[in-house]
Amino acid sequence: MCGIAGIFHFDTSRSVNESLLKKMADSLAHRGPDGEGFYIKNNIGLGHRRLSIIDLSTGDQPMFNEDKSIAIVFNGEIYNYVELKEELKNLGYKFFTNSDTEVIIRAYETWGTDCQNKLNGMWAFALWDERKNQLFISRDRIGEKPLFYSTHDNTLLFGSEIKSILAYGIPKIPNLELTELYLTLGYIPAPYTFYKNISKLQAGHYLIVTPNSVQEKKYWDLPEIDEENMISDKKLVYETFESLLKDSVRIRMRSDVPYGAFLSGGLDSAGIVALMSEISKEKVKTFTIGFKEKMFDERKLAAMAAEKFKTDHHEYMIEPNSFDEAIKKVMHHFDEPFGDSSALPTGKVSEIAAQKVKMVLTGDGGDEVLSGYNSNMVEKFAEQYQKLPFFLRSRLPGMVSSAGNLFKGDNRHKIKQVARALSFSNETFSDRLMAKSWCKPELVKQIISHPEKQIKLADFMSDFFSKYKVKHPFYQLMFFQFKVLLPDDFLTKVDRMSMAASLETRVPFLDHRLVEFMSRVHRDIKMEGYERKSVLRNTIGKRLPPALLRAPKKGFAIPLREWFKEKSFEPKLESLYASDFGLNTKLIRKLAEDNNSGKEDNGNLLWMIFLLKNWMDGER
C-alpha cells in the first residue's frame, strides 16, 4: 500500500522539475512511510511512497522491465499475483522479484491495457510505456484506491490524494457549484472534486495520456442484469457465495507483515473474522471502537465474536472531546469537505490497529453485496405498501408521526424514522432516494447564500440512472450503492483514515467475482421476507454468536446528535453562526436549536456544515 504522484508535460522538450515531483510525493508520506522512489526522464516524472506489505526486500518502486522501457508506480495489492505469475511463467516470462508490481508489468507486456481484466485486487497505478510514448493510469473496478488528476500549464498531474496535486502549486479554485451535492449526499461524487481544476478518476476507468491527448475510458462495470431472469436457486447462491467469500479472504491474507481485522458488532466484519480464524494458524488480532452512548456502542457484540473465534482483541472508546482534533484530521486527509462522520471512529480504530499490525481485513462492502441496508428493506417494503388502498397510505405516516410526539429521546426519533419510511414508501423511487439526503433539496435552497449556480441533486440522479436501464427500484438502488455511494463515500472514508495511520485495509466482500455474481441474484434470495442479509445468515452466519444474528442494524456512526447538546459545544456553535462562508447562518442556528431540543436529528448535517466552514476558511 502506497502513495503515488506524477507529472507529464505535453511539451516533450520540457523537463520535469525533480524538486516539485519530490514535493508532491512528500505530501503523501503518511501513505508510504517505509521508503520513496522516483523516475524522471525528460517530460515524464513518477513518484512513489512505500508502505511495505509484500516482498519487503525487492519490491521497491518505481519498478521497471529489463530495458527500462516500462516504468510503474503502484498503490494497492494484486491478490491473485501468485496465480498470474504462474500463468505468465508458462508464457515464457522470467521474474526477478516476488512483488505483485512486477506481475502488473508482465501482464501489461502480454495483454496491454486488457491486463486490468486479469487483475483481482485494489489499485491505482501509473505505467509509462516509453516505446509508445504514453502514460497508462488505471483505477480498480470498485474504487478502493483513489486517483486524482488535473491538467494545468500544459501538464497532466496525478496523485493518490488532492494534496499531492496542490503541492505542485496549481491554483486552488473552490467549485462552489457542488455545495448542494455536498449538503445532500455528504460527499463529492466522481468525477468531481471541490476544486474546479481537479478531477477524480472514476472506478473501473483508466486514462491514456500522450503528448496530444488525455483519453478516459471504462474497462469494467457491473454486469447487465436480466430482471426477469435473476438467479433464484437458493442452494446455488449459498454455495457459490460461501465459496467465493472464503477464497476472497484466503488470497487477501497473503502478507509478509503482521495483520488483523476490524471487528464491529455487525454480521459482515464478524463473518470475515470467522473465516480468517479458520484459515489462520495464529490468533487473529481484532480491533473495535466504542462509545459511552449505548445506542451507538457495539463493543459487547464485538467481544462475543472475539471470544467465539479466540482472537487477540483490542478496543478503544471515543469521547466528544476528540471533536476539534477530528475536524483537523478530516480536513487534512480528505482535502475537501467530507461529511461522513463515521470517518472519526474509522480513524481511531485505524490508529489502534496500526500499533499492532500493518494490514487489516474489514467487513466493508457487505451491505452493498448483500443488499443489507435499511434502504434496501424500504424498497422491498414500498413495493408491497403501494398495493394498499390510497386513503390508508395517505393517512398512516401522519398518524405514526403524531404518535411519536408522545415520546422523547431515542424512542421519539425511532418512531419518527418509521413515519418517514412510510411517507417515503408513497413516493416514486427517485423521490425516495433524494428524501434520504442529509439536507432536503428544498432546505438547500434556503441554506445556500452564495450566488453560484448549483449542480442539483435531481439532475445528478437523473444523469446517473440514464446510464443504467434498470427498472425495479431494488436493483436501481443496488446500482447506485455500488457506483456512487460505495466508492465516493465508504471506500473513500476507509482509504483516507486508514492511510492516515499508515495502515492497509483489504475488503474481501469486494472481490469482483463475488460482486458480479451477487449483483445477478434475485432480491427475494438476498432478502427473504424482510430479513437482512439472508445469504450471509444462512452460510457464514451459522458460525456466529446468536446475539449478533438477533441484533438490530446500527451502522458505524457516532452520536453527533447528543454531542452537539453538550455545554462544551456552545462556543463552537456560536462561532459557526458568526461566520460568513456562503450559508445562511440564521437557518443554521435554527437547525442547531431543533437538534438540541430533540425536535430533529440534525447532528450529521451540523457536522457537515462545520467541515464546509473549516474548508472554506482554509481556502481564503
By annotation, the residues acting in catalysis are 2
**Rounded (10°) angle between helices 570-577 and 585-597:** 150
Residues 543, 272: Cα–Cα separation, whole Å: 11
Torsion of CA 502, 508, 510, 516, to 10 degrees: 160
Measured from the Cβ of residue 451, the count of other Cβ atoms closer than 10 Å reads 7
Distances (CA, A) of 611 to 141, 324, 445, 491, 607: 29, 11, 19, 19, 6
CA 328 remoteness from chain centre: 20
Phi, psi of 446 (to 5 degrees): -80, -30
Residues 333, 321: Cα–Cα separation, whole Å: 20
3-state secondary structure of 302: helix
DSSP secondary structure letters along 51-113: ---S-TTT--SSEE-TTSSEEEEEEEEETTHHHHHHHHHHTT---SSS-HHHHHHHHHHHHGG
Residues 57, 546: Cα–Cα separation, whole Å: 45
Helix H or strand E segment including 314 = strand 312-318
**Rounded (10°) angle between helices 409-425 and 390-404:** 170
* ∠ Cα 465 441 374 (to 5°): 65
Residues 276, 361: Cα–Cα separation, whole Å: 9
Residues 498, 486: Cα–Cα separation, whole Å: 16
Q: Cβ distance 34 to 256 under 8 Å?
A: no
Distances (CA, A) of 189 to 249, 294, 480: 29, 33, 11
Residues 449, 508: Cα–Cα separation, whole Å: 44
Count of all residues that appear for the chain in the document: 620
Between strands 155-159 and 199-200, the pairing is unpaired
Residues 471, 308: Cα–Cα separation, whole Å: 43
Place of cell 504514453: 134
Q: Cβ distance 454 to 177 under 8 Å?
A: yes
